[in-house]
Amino acid sequence: MENRYKMRLMAVTIGTLAALSIFITVRYRRRRRSQKCPSSSCYLQGDHCQNQKKPQHAFKRVLADNSYSPFKHLKKLHDSPNENDLNSHPYEAEITALLDNPGLEFSFINEFTDLKMSETYTWVETETQLKELVDVLSKERVFSVDTEQHSLRSFLGFTALIQISTQKEDYLVDTIALHDAMSIIRPVFADPSICKVFHGSDNDILWLQRDFHIYVVNLFDTAKACEVLSKPQKSLAYLLETYCGVTTNKLLQREDWRQRPLSNEMVQYARIDAHYLLYIANCLIAELKQQENEISCPDDKFHFVLEASRRSNMTCLQLYTKDVEGFPGESAASSLSSRHLNGQGGVSSNFETKFPDLVRRLCAWRDLMARLHDESLRYVLSDQAIVALADRAPMTTTEVCNTINQADLNVDLSFHSFLPSPSPVVCSHLDDVCSLLQYKIGNLNDIFPMIIQKCLGPSGSCPISIYNYALLINCNLKLEFVSKQNGVKSSKQVAKKASRDLFVQKFSCKSPVYHNCRIYANDGRLLCYCDQRKLEWYLRRDLAKIVDDNPPAIMLLFEPKGRPEDEDNDFYIQSKKNICVGCGEGSHYLRYRIIPSCYRMHFPEHMKSHRSHDIVLVCVDCHEVAHASAEKYKKQIAAEFGIPLFVRKVADLKQVQVMSGSSESETNLEEGVSPLQLRTAAMALLRHGPRMPSKRRDELTQIVMSYYGGREISEVDLEKALLVGMSPHERRRLEKKKGLSFKPSAVSILPNVEQENNNGSTVTSGIVETSEVTTLDDSQSTKAEARGRKEDRETGADVGDSSVCADSGINEEVSFTFKENVKPDKNGVSDINGVLLINSNDNCESRSPSNRIVDLYHTEYDGTAQPKHHPKLSLLGHGPHGKQVVDHLLKEYGEDGIRQFSQRWRQVFVEAVHPRFLPAGWDVMHSGRRDFGEYSVYNPAKKTSAPIQS
Ligand code: AMP
Ligand code: MN
Ligand code: ZN
């Protein structure tokens, strides 16, 4: 009968397939509604509706309920009871202790155990089994973890599975069955002596807090290690292939992880996500240690391993928070409205004024319904359906259903296409939707009491669960709560604040930067402000006498070469405040270089002199703004001059020469194999070649072959390939270690280009060890710095040189930027480098040996000069870009070009930060003609051309 009906239908309907499916859907809906679900009855009620029972209904304790009230974090037993700050991290002290002093050895696998996954694994679904697992884990020094979530049929989502692997065994913990017992496992996660290995843990960390109050202390995140190593990719799939020769189908992460039993495929996928992590972590740690040994000087260790560990543990400081909105659905509404109105202009058939209001109503309704029924927003009503409803404002229930169905048909054919449209939630509350659209409810605030009334309890239509009830009792408070919004921080704000505080604490200047000591000429005229050390330098040499104590001042006993007034620049005779030049913040500040060092380090010596003018103090917030605008402007410069920021790929030795010559060779280079790709492929083949799937082995072999011009390759070729792209120093070390010996000409001499990130946008290599950063504080001088100062003194730098002797406080600074946590894409496509992004390319220049001015890229590119500098800098900066830009400017416009270039950077800074507290005399057009004293290293005798006054 149904078949006959369908056939008749097809015969009658000449319309398109789309029209047909709408018809069928409407029929389906009608059938549903004409069956046993009257529109006033909730789809959740009774078992006649196709909805399987939702597993979360069996959860006894739900930490993150669907109410609008904030998430309550774990309170430890001995936490002070009066502390009503819900947003403090219960293990902050433990995590911070690890940040300060990781003090752990990082060796995750003792001997080379069998990589292969065994046939068996342990399914953990009872409390007893969970306790047994905890017993096992508490005896381990390390285990790996991953989680799978379900988010479609739940408002906040929940953890459906936790995978845990030790070296011996894979465990799959059924966190649906064990939802209320999971606290048993908390202690091992919080135990600082047990390292937990995750990959891309940002979300897992928050999910574990949300569902189980599980807090991770002592984390090693393999994705963070990839960042520190500047891997070209950091997805787990990439690591699995590279290190283990294992392929994984990431599409499975979208499976419905609530199902039991899990399919074999899902079990396999879930196990893979945790099983290989220990091995991968071990490989990455070996590489980190190798970098540490090869790239750092013995007396100035650069701690790659600790950096990876630090970035990992910073992730643990994140706190789960519910998103807070001023009004339910508000943020979705405003983004939908603006997207639609921007995109479509006046196409909307609805009044433009009515459209945003309808979107707002529908989003509020959807938000409330999703919370009440514990469904995701998408499940209740799609974004495109909201736009369509607001656009067309259908009046009847049938029209409403058609509109929704059509909107869902038009878009979203992929993942959600199997979802019922309109959703059962819409179908069972159709009248409400109509009332909303018809403005039967005038005031939006009245929606909530009405809807709740209709849903509530025995007289209402929806079976209300315990947490939905929580929502209801909070709902009355909501309007008040909305008006108090200013005091409530969104999740992002809270996470950002935590990172920011830590950043400030760790990296801001620890003592005033400007000492505001004064130097007078022997006729009593003020020459400049400077720091204490400068005064002492003159005093020790009997070149000056003290004329004031507080703040100290000296008078020179000789006639200085230049006078500030003569130079028509009074900037240097201003005392400077120790505050942010942007906003005036005085509690903390960092130095910021207005002209990025990647350029400035290549300026002619005598043009680098305006250091105190172009290095300013800023707070972390202004620093972030300034840094972001500078990074953007660099890209503009790159485009303007046709000089790319990053050299992307290197084909082989012949092309290297082309590359060192000009920037035009970029296209050639794009086709080559990057040294990293080459080395990684060679390494994987050497280590795991015989055990790899043949397809993968062929792929990797192809990569290596293409480097060798397509010829067959031998084992020796593979070994040689391991050295490609390494500095001579790095190669010597590797050779020594392996007992290999090659003629230097056999391999290309290239700087290590691993710092280059795929999309060339973010500096990934700015790793500055904490101890180095703290040298910002003058009182914490290191040996290296002391030596640096000694050198300065011996060369008599800056004497009688009024601008250099200004109080710049810039002898050993590094600069960096603060960045809020960004959740990485699970597919690993994020290019965000963790909580702290250190602005490495602003860190290339300093006069201390620990941070010497170098030109690594060029000494190595021409393949002749030996690197005479700190090798660590091979990781920093944009390679040849800075030098090429400066060379270009000098060639085309001479020093005026450099001056104008500097002015452009000052302009960029001013436009980004709108500084209100710049010292008097600070000027975008600043040129400050320089004259050099007889003691100065910049003495004219040493120069080839005299500075030109602009
Ligand atoms: P994974 O560890 O990569 O398997 O991801 C863990 C969980 O994150 C999965 O169970 C999904 O719930 C969720 N997830 C990650 N990426 C996606 C995605 N692209 N689409 C849908 N869900 C995802
Ligand atoms: Mn997973
Ligand atoms: Zn500021």
What would the two tokens of residue 764 be? Answer: 């990934």
Give the separation between CA 50 and CA 67, rounded to whole angstroms.
Answer: 27
Angstrom CA distances, 928 to 531, 570, 776, stand at 20, 9, 26
Instruction: Please identify every stretch of the chain with a pLDDT value under 70, giving residue numbers as ranges.
Output: 1-52, 78-87, 103-105, 107-114, 295-302, 342-353, 411-417, 440-503, 505-507, 510-511, 513, 561-575, 609-611, 646-673, 725-879, 928-950
Q: Is 895 in the pocket of ligand 1 (CB under 6 A)?
A: no
Q: Is 233 in the pocket of ligand 1 (CB under 6 A)?
A: no
Ligand nearest to the CA of 237: 1
DSSP secondary structure string for all residues of 61-97: --SS-SSSSPPPPP--TTS-TT---TTS-TTHHHHHH
Ligand 2 center–CA 600 separation, angstroms: 46
Q: Is 829 in the pocket of ligand 1 (CB under 6 A)?
A: no
Query: Residue 270: which of 256, 253, 258 has the closest Cα?
Result: 253
Cβ contacts of 293 within 8 Å, gap of 6 or more: 733
Q: Is 798 in the pocket of ligand 1 (CB under 6 A)?
A: no
Could you identify the atom of ligand 1 that is nearest to the CA of residue 160?
10
Give the separation between CA 256 and CA 844, rounded to whole angstroms.
Answer: 50
Q: Is 154 in the pocket of ligand 1 (CB under 6 A)?
A: no
Q: Is 585 in the pocket of ligand 1 (CB under 6 A)?
A: no
Ligand 3 center–CA 771 separation, angstroms: 24
In degrees and rounded to multiples of 5, residue 415 shows phi and psi of -75, -45
Contact 659, 650 (CB under 8 A): yes
DSSP secondary structure string for all residues of 492-540: HHHHHHHHHHHHHHHHS-SS-S---EEEE-TTS-EEEEE-HHHHHHHHH
Contact 312, 286 (CB under 8 A): no
Cβ contacts of 11 within 8 Å, gap of 6 or more: none
Closest protein CA for atom 4 of ligand 1: 253
Ligand 2 center–CA 326 separation, angstroms: 34
Contact 788, 848 (CB under 8 A): yes
Ligand 3 center–CA 315 separation, angstroms: 25
Ligand nearest to the CA of 588: 3
Ligand nearest to the CA of 620: 3
pLDDT at position 545: 86
Could you identify the atom of ligand 1 that is nearest to the CA of residue 203?
8
Give the mutation target among 254, 271, 273, 412 for probing the ligand 1 site: most ligand atoms within 8 A of CB.
Answer: 254
Residue 415 CB: number of other CB atoms within 10 A?
11
Query: Residue 478: which of 64, 66, 62, 67 has the closest Cα?
Result: 67
Q: Is 532 in the pocket of ligand 1 (CB under 6 A)?
A: no
Q: Is 350 in the pocket of ligand 1 (CB under 6 A)?
A: no
Q: Is 149 in the pocket of ligand 1 (CB under 6 A)?
A: yes
Give the separation between CA 478 and CA 488, rounded to whole angstroms.
Answer: 13
Closest protein CA for atom 3 of ligand 1: 826
Angstrom CA distances, 896 to 892, 900, 901, 918, stand at 10, 6, 8, 24
What is this structure's pTM?
0.53
Ligand 3 center–CA 618 separation, angstroms: 5
Ligand 2 center–CA 270 separation, angstroms: 6
Contact 450, 440 (CB under 8 A): no
Give the mutation target among 826, 827, 829, 830 for probing the ligand 1 site: most ligand atoms within 8 A of CB.
Answer: 826
Ligand 1 center–CA 539 separation, angstroms: 66
* SS3 per-residue string spanning 283-329: HHHHHHHHHHHHHCECCECCCHHHHHHHHHHHHHCCCCCCCCCCCCC
Ligand nearest to the CA of 823: 1
pLDDT at position 74: 92
Q: Is 416 in the pocket of ligand 1 (CB under 6 A)?
A: no
Give the separation between CA 319 and CA 208, rounded to whole angstroms.
Answer: 10
Q: Is 268 in the pocket of ligand 1 (CB under 6 A)?
A: no
What would the two tokens of residue 909 be? Answer: 């800074």
Ligand 3 center–CA 624 separation, angstroms: 9
Q: Is 877 exposed, middle or buried (0-12, 13-18, 19+ CB in 10 A)?
A: buried
pLDDT at position 734: 64
pLDDT at position 222: 96
Q: Is 631 in the pocket of ligand 1 (CB under 6 A)?
A: no
Q: Is 151 in the pocket of ligand 1 (CB under 6 A)?
A: yes
Residue 774 CB: number of other CB atoms within 10 A?
16
Ligand nearest to the CA of 827: 1
Q: Is 207 in the pocket of ligand 1 (CB under 6 A)?
A: no
Which helix (H) or strand (E) element contains residue 367? helix 354-373
Ligand nearest to the CA of 617: 3
Q: Is 376 in the pocket of ligand 1 (CB under 6 A)?
A: no
Could you identify the atom of ligand 1 that is nearest to the CA of residue 252?
4
Which helix (H) or strand (E) element contains residue 553? strand 552-556
Ligand 3 center–CA 619 separation, angstroms: 4
Give the separation between CA 196 and CA 143, rounded to whole angstroms.
Answer: 5
Ligand 2 center–CA 178 separation, angstroms: 19
Closest protein CA for atom 22 of ligand 1: 254
Place of tokens 């015969």: 11
Q: Is 202 in the pocket of ligand 1 (CB under 6 A)?
A: no
37-40 long-range contacts, CB within 8 A, separation 24+: 37/427, 37/428, 39/397, 39/427, 39/428, 39/429, 39/430, 39/431, 40/428, 40/431, 40/454, 40/461
Ligand 1 center–CA 558 separation, angstroms: 72
